[in-house]
């Protein structure tokens, strides 16, 4: 039963909630640092991933007929990483759209899960609310990209705090479900 699996892992929602709240607080406390860190982290990831893909393509040259695809992918990653460091402002805007897409997809999946679980658990509303907030956040980022990088960081911070609190509330509900589920299964049939 999906609800039992969620209930057993309620602590993962606590962890996600706490990390989201901490990230949100950092975004408000140091917005410039947060934006620069996001852009540089993305650039570093693209660069390292690209280098590793090129290395894998070179190593598979003898055994894989399409080894050159890995090298092409790697060169694209290296190029993107370098461009991120050369034009961090453009990267910030692209990253904004990626975050928006992620928030919308995540939100849709969370609402879908809440609908699927509504007959199995109580409190699925919190998961649906988190999903609705995610979708709304993603739409706001797409509609108002010119609001400025600083305001986007603050939006991300506010979203992270609200999302984190919603997940903490969901975790409390799941923890209660875990106890209820144990009580139900321990009764003789």
Per-residue burial over 119-144, b = 16 or more CB atoms within 10 Å of its CB, e = otherwise: eebebbebbbbbbbbbbebbebbeee
Q: Phi and psi at residue 23, in whole multiples of 5°?
A: -60, -40
Dig out the tokens for 47 from the structure.
């660069």
pLDDT band at 148 (very low <50, low <70, confident <90, very high): low
More confident residue, 183 or 61: 61
Confidence (pTM): 0.50
How high is the pLDDT of residue 94?
83
18-53: pLDDT as tens digits: 998 998 898 888 887 888 887 888 889 889 988 998
pLDDT at 174 exceeding the cut of 80: yes
The answer to whether 154 and 140 have CB atoms below 8 angstroms apart is no
Burial class (CB in 10 A: 0-12, 13-18, 19+), 66: exposed
pLDDT at 12 exceeding the cut of 90: no
């Amino acid at each position: 039963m999906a609800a039992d699996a969620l209930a057993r892992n309620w602590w993962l929602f606590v962890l996600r909630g706490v990390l989201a709240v901490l990230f949100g607080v950092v975004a408000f406390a140091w917005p410039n640092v947060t934006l620069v860190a996001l852009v540089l982290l993305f650039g570093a990831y693209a660069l390292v991933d690209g280098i590793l893909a090129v290395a894998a393509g070179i190593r598979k040259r003898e055994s894989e007929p399409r080894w050159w695809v890995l090298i092409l992918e790697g060169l694209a990653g290296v190029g993107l990483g370098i461009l991120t460091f050369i034009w961090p402002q453009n990267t910030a805007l692209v990253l904004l759209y990626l975050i928006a897409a992620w928030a919308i997809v995540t939100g849709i999946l969370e609402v879908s899960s809440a609908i699927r679980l509504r007959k199995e658990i109580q409190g699925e509303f919190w998961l649906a609310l988190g999903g609705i907030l995610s979708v709304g956040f993603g739409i706001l980022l797409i509609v108002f990209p010119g609001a400025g990088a600083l305001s986007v960081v603050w939006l991300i911070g506010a979203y992270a705090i609200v999302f984190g609190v919603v997940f903490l509330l969901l975790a409390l509900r799941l923890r209660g479900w875990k106890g209820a589920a144990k009580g139900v299964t321990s009764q003789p049939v």
